[in-house]
Amino acid sequence: MVNSEFSVGLALSGGGVRGLAHLGVYKALLEYNLEPEIISGTSAGALVGAFLCTGRTPEEVIDLFFKKGIFDFAKVHIPKKGFLDLSKLETFLNSELKYKRIEDLPKPLIVAVSDLKAGKIHYFEKGPLAKLLTASSCLPILFAPVELDDTLYVDGGLFDNLPISPILDRCAFSIAVNATPEGKCSELKNLLDIAQRIFELGARQNQDYKKAQLCIEPDNMLGIPLLDSQFAHKAFENGYHSAMNILSKSDLSQISVQ
């Protein structure tokens, strides 16, 4: 542990708008002087992680995502491979992130994406930032896959919704944040709701994140729709207050921040 590459590492789950709870958790970590030195994320967790790795504050990121809205990143098109096209998200990311490649970010980031052809997960630490973030956010069926180097990529949550494994052995202290809690779904109104629910249930199968030294699962997340940006600040507040509560009860004496 003494020779670990990083003191504190952070893994962030997918979860659509619920993933904005990660920003609240990050704010709480900063208040406890626990700034992560590396971030690993899937889907919403990768998006949030990328902006945090540029040095933006959690408050700046939540305001940006709230103003734009998740649906602003998608446009309806003829459903050949998916109902929605995320090209607008890639355009947005290229305009808002001045770093074009993952390896150029000031803080290390790992982006988890699923390879549809090979049927496995990939953890990217290098490569085109906006395109890989878009791929990691591409919910299967709902969104058309992202093509890169003759491979079709979709949401990393298909195989690993909370990518702790890439950082577990590299950090002296690892923190996992799961914004996709278990629980019953009260209502499924349409095809969008059904597709989200199917993916949500499948994403829970990987429980590796529980190997982290500290796991944070924000409270009251089931009532937040996955794709309704009007709930962005509610997710943020849930993440912040839940993290503050957990951190206040945790033994953090073992952490030595470099």
Task: Give bridge partners of residue 11 from the DSSP assignment.
Answer: 40, 176
Residues catalogued as catalytic: 43, 155
Question: In 125-248, at which residue ranges do the beta strands (DSSP E only) sit?
Answer: 146-148, 151-155, 171-177, 214-216
**Which DSSP category does 128 fall into?**
B
> Exposed, middle or buried: residue 138 (CB in 10 Å: 0-12, 13-18, 19+)?
buried
Whose structure tokens read 């993916």? Answer: 199
Rounded Cα distance between 230 and 153, Å, is: 28
What contacts 24+ positions apart, CB below 8 Å, involve 147-151?
151/115, 151/116, 151/117, 151/118
Q: What share of the chain is helix, strand, coil (3-state, %, to 5)?
A: 40, 20, 40
One-character DSSP codes across 157-185: GGT-SS--HHHHTTEEEEEEE--S-----
CA 34 to the chain's CA centroid: 19
Q: What Cα–Cα distance (Å) separates residue 252 from each residue in 5, 31, 216, 239?
A: 19, 13, 14, 19
Under the phi-then-psi rule, with left for phi > 0, alpha for psi from -120 to 50, and beta for the rest, what region is 149? left
